[in-house]
DNA sequence: CTGTTAGCGCATTCAC
DNA sequence: GTGAATGCGCTAACAG
C-alpha cells in the first residue's frame, strides 16, 4: 500500500532505522490507520525459536487454588499449540522459605526463556527477581505482586478490595447489630501477604465506619488438634457473632468445625473455589466464596509472556487487576472455561 | 512415527478409509497416546478457505448487554486474525417481529458460512433455523436457547437458575419478614422468555418454601410517563417491601425512580452490567447485578463456529452453560477481558 | 536506504 | 499408500 517492499515495512515495525523520513511517515500512517497488529502465530513461526516457559508456584493438591493456575496454564499451552513452547513446572513449599530458595536456584539453572511466578516470600522473591533480571529472563507475577521488582506483567486481584468485598457482602447478609468474626486458620504460624491485606482492609473499613467494636478476630492454629473446640467455645462465649470471614482458602475447614446449631445461625464467607469449599457451598454450610479465577490468571500470564518474548512487549496493559468473582450455591458451576 | 506418509495419517484423521487395518491401528494408537489435536490455525490455513461469519442479534446501544456481545465477537475476530474470517453483523428490532423476519431473510441472502444468533421470537426463530438447516448453514445460539432447533453449539446462562440466584441473594440481604417485589419494567408490552423464566423460577421457589405471601409483583410500562409515580405510590402503600428484583436489564431505571428515603431502605438486584447499572452500583442505589457475560458468550460462540467449520465438529461440549457472575460495587471493574 | 528472497511449521491435497 | 507441493504472514539475511 505504501509502494515499498516488506523489508522496509519490517524495519519500520521494529524501528530498526534505515528508512527514509518520507517512507517512515507514510508507512506509520498506514499502519496506524489500519490499526495493524502483527499476528503472534505468524511472528512466532517466522522467528524459528522455541520458548521455554516455566511456571513456578507453590506446591498444590488436586482441586486447590494453585491447581486452578495449573489448569489455566495448560489450557494456554493447548491454545497456542502451534507455537513451539516447551512448558515446565516447578513447585516449592510455601511454608518453607528454604524450599523456595533451593527451588528458585533450580529454576535459574533451567535457563528458561520466561517465568510465571506465584510468589510467597517477599525478600527472597525480590532476590530471585533481581537474578532473573541479571539473566534477562522476563517474568510475570500471578496471585500476588511483589514490590521492588520489574515484571513484564502482573495478574492478581486487588486484595484490599477483595477484603472489602468480603466484609461488605457479609455485612449485607448480616442481621443488624451482629458482629463479624475474622477467623484465621493458620498453618505453621506463617501467614500470606494476601491474607494480611484482606484482614487489614476489613479492619480499616470497620474503623472508618466507627463500628470497630463489632469486629472480632480469632487466630486458630490448624496444628492444634483441638482447634475445633477452641472455635466452638469462642462462638458460644460470643453469641453476638453472626458472620464469619475466613480470609484464606480454608473456609471449609472452619465450616466443618461447626455443629448444626451454629451452621444454621452463622453466615460464612471465604476464598477460593477449592473442592472442599465447593462442597460446603452445596450443603449450605458456607454462604459464598470469592473466586480469584486462578485459571484466568495463569492463562493471561502465559499470553503476556509469549507476547513479550515474540513481540518484545506486552500488547495489553501490564497492570491487570483480576476481577473477583462472587460464587453462591446457584452459580457454582463450570470448574474450567476459557476465558 | 508410524513410518507412513502424511497422506495416510490424514485419511485416518478424517476417517476417509482406504488405509490398511495394520496402519489404521498403528496410527490410531499413536494419535491416542499423544492425545493429538489438530491445530485450528494450521487446518484453516491448509483448507485455503475464507469463512463468512454473521453475528445476528437485537439492535443495541453503546454500553448495553448486546454491545457486550459485539465486543466479545470482535475480540474473537482479532484473536483469530490469522484465519481468513469475513465478519458481518446484522441487527433487528427486538420489539418488532416484522423486523426480525425481514432481517432474517436478509441474513439468508448473505449466504454466510455460519451464524451466531441471539434470538427473541420463538416461532419465527424456529422457522429461520429450519431454513438455515436446509441451506446447511451452521448456527450457534447465544443468550437464549430456542427448542426444536439444531444449533452447532449454545452459550447461554440457565435463566431459571439465575432467577433463583437473584432471589436467594436478595433473601440473604433482606431483613426477616420483609417482602420481595418483582418489578417488571416493560417496553411496548413485550416480554422476553428470559425474563419470564427468571420470574417463574422465583415464584416457584417462594411457593416451595411456603412464603408466597411475601412475594409481590408489579408490572410497569415504561411508556407511561408517570411510571415513577406509580412505583413510588406502590412502595408507600406496601411498606413491607424490603427488596426489589428487576428481572431484566432496567434496574437502573427503577433505582432512578426512587427517592432517597426509599433508596436507603430498599435493596435492589438486577441484570446486566450496562453503563446505567454500573453507575447505580457505584452510587449504591443498586445492591448487586447479575452479569451474564455477553462478551464471553459471543467469544465462545465464534470459537465453536470456527471449530465446526474447520474441523467439522465442535471440540468442547456443545451445551455450554454460561456461569452467572455476581457484581457488587467492589468487583465492578474491567469492562472487558479475555476470557 | 531499499528490494528480494527463502523459509518457518502443520495440515491438506493430489498426481502418481 | 506415497511424497511433493501448497497455503499463510512474518522475519531477517543479503544484494544492490
Report the residue of B80, B310, B330 to disrupt the A interface, i.e. the one with the largest count of A CBs within 10 Å: B330
A325 CB within 8 Å of a chain B CB: yes
- Give chain A's radius of gyration (CA, Å): 24
Matching residue, cell 485450528? B40
Cα separation, B268 vs B182, whole angstroms = 10
For residues B74-94, give the mean pLDDT: 97
Any strand C atom closer than 7 Å to B7 CB: yes
Query: Which among B172, B300, B324 has the least Cβ separation from residue A331?
Result: B324
B323 CB within 8 Å of a chain A CB: yes
Give A317's pLDDT tier (boundaries 50, 70, 90): confident
Matching residue, cell 406502590? B234
H or E element, residue A215:
strand A215-221
Given an 8 Å threshold on Cβ–Cβ distance, is B165 in contact with A287?
no
Cα separation, B307 vs B327, whole angstroms = 32
Cα separation, A134 vs A132, whole angstroms = 5
Compute the count of residue pairs across chains A and B with CB atoms less than 8 Å apart.
95
C-beta of residue B55 within 8 angstroms of C-beta of residue B298: yes
Residue of B nearest to A296 (CA): B339
Cα separation, A159 vs A200, whole angstroms = 10
How would you classify residue B24: left for phi > 0, otherwise alpha for psi between -120 and 50, otherwise beta? alpha
C-beta of residue A156 within 8 angstroms of C-beta of residue A142: yes
Q: Provide CB contacts within 8 A for A208, sequence distance 6+.
A: none
Residue B338 has pLDDT above 50, yes or no: no
pLDDT at position A339 is 46
pLDDT in tens, B186-200: 877 677 899 999 999
Cα separation, A82 vs A16, whole angstroms = 28
Residue of A nearest to B339 (CA): A339
pLDDT at position A165 is 97
C-beta of residue A148 within 8 angstroms of C-beta of residue B310: no
C-beta of residue A201 within 8 angstroms of C-beta of residue A159: yes
C-alpha cell at A223: 496444628
Taking the CA atoms of B327, B329, B331 and B335 in sequence, report the sign of the dihedral they define. Answer: positive
C-alpha cell at A10: 519490517
Given an 8 Å threshold on Cβ–Cβ distance, is A323 in contact with B339?
no
C-alpha cell at B66: 448486546
Residue A338 has pLDDT above 50, yes or no: no
A122-134 vs A97-109: helix axis angle to the nearest 10?
A: 10
Matching residue, cell 489404521? B24
- What is chain A's mean pLDDT, rounded? 94
Residue B336 has pLDDT above 60, yes or no: no
pLDDT at position B171 is 85
For residues A154-170, give the mean pLDDT: 95
A177 CB within 8 Å of a chain B CB: no
The listed range with the strongest mean pLDDT (A167-176, A218-227, B210-219) is B210-219
Amino acid at each position: 500500500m505504501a509502494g515499498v517492499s516488506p523489508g522496509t515495512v519490517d524495519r519500520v515495525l521494529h524501528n530498526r532505522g534505515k528508512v527514509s523520513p518520507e517512507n517512515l511517515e507514510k508507512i506509520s500512517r498506514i499502519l496506524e490507520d489500519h490499526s495493524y497488529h502483527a499476528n503472534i502465530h505468524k511472528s512466532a513461526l517466522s522467528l524459528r525459536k522455541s520458548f521455554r516457559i516455566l511456571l513456578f508456584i507453590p506446591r498444590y493438591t488436586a482441586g486447590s487454588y494453585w491447581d486452578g493456575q495449573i489448569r489455566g496454564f495448560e489450557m494456554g499451552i493447548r491454545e497456542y499449540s502451534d507455537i513451539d513452547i516447551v512448558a515446565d513446572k516447578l513447585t516449592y513449599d510455601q511454608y518453607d522459605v528454604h524450599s523456595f530458595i533451593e527451588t528458585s536456584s533450580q529454576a535459574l539453572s533451567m535457563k528458561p526463556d520466561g517465568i510465571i511466578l506465584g510468589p510467597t516470600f517477599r525478600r527472597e522473591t525480590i532476590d530471585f527477581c533481581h537474578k532473573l533480571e541479571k539473566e534477562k529472563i522476563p517474568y510475570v507475577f500471578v496471585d500476588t505482586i511483589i514490590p521492588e521488582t520489574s515484571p513484564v506483567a502482573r495478574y492478581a486481584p486487588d486484595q484490599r478490595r477483595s477484603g472489602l468485598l468480603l466484609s461488605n457482602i457479609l455485612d449485607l447478609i448480616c442481621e443488624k447489630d451482629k458482629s463479624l468474626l475474622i477467623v484465621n486458620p493458620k498453618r505453621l504460624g506463617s501467614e500470606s501477604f494476601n491474607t494480611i491485606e484482606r484482614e487489614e482492609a476489613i479492619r480499616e473499613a470497620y474503623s472508618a465506619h466507627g463500628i470497630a467494636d463489632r469486629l472480632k478476630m480469632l487466630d486458630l492454629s490448624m496444628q492444634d488438634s483441638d482447634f475445633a473446640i477452641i472455635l466452638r467455645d469462642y462462638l458460644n462465649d460470643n453469641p453476638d457473632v453472626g458472620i464469619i470471614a475466613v480470609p484464606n482458602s480454608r473456609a471449609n475447614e472452619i465450616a466443618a468445625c461447626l455443629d448444626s446449631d451454629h451452621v444454621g445461625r452463622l453466615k460464612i464467607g471465604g476464598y477460593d473455589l477449592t473442592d472442599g469449599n465447593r462442597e460446603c457451598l452445596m450443603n449450605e454450610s458456607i454462604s459464598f466464596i470469592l473466586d480469584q479465577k486462578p485459571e484466568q490468571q495463569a492463562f493471561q500470564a502465559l499470553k503476556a509472556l509469549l507476547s513479550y518474548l515474540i513481540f518484545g512487549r506486552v500488547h495489553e496493559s501490564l497492570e491487570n487487576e483480576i476481577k473477583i468473582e462472587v460464587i453462591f450455591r446457584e452459580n457454582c458451576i463450570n470448574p474450567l472455561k476459557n476465558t
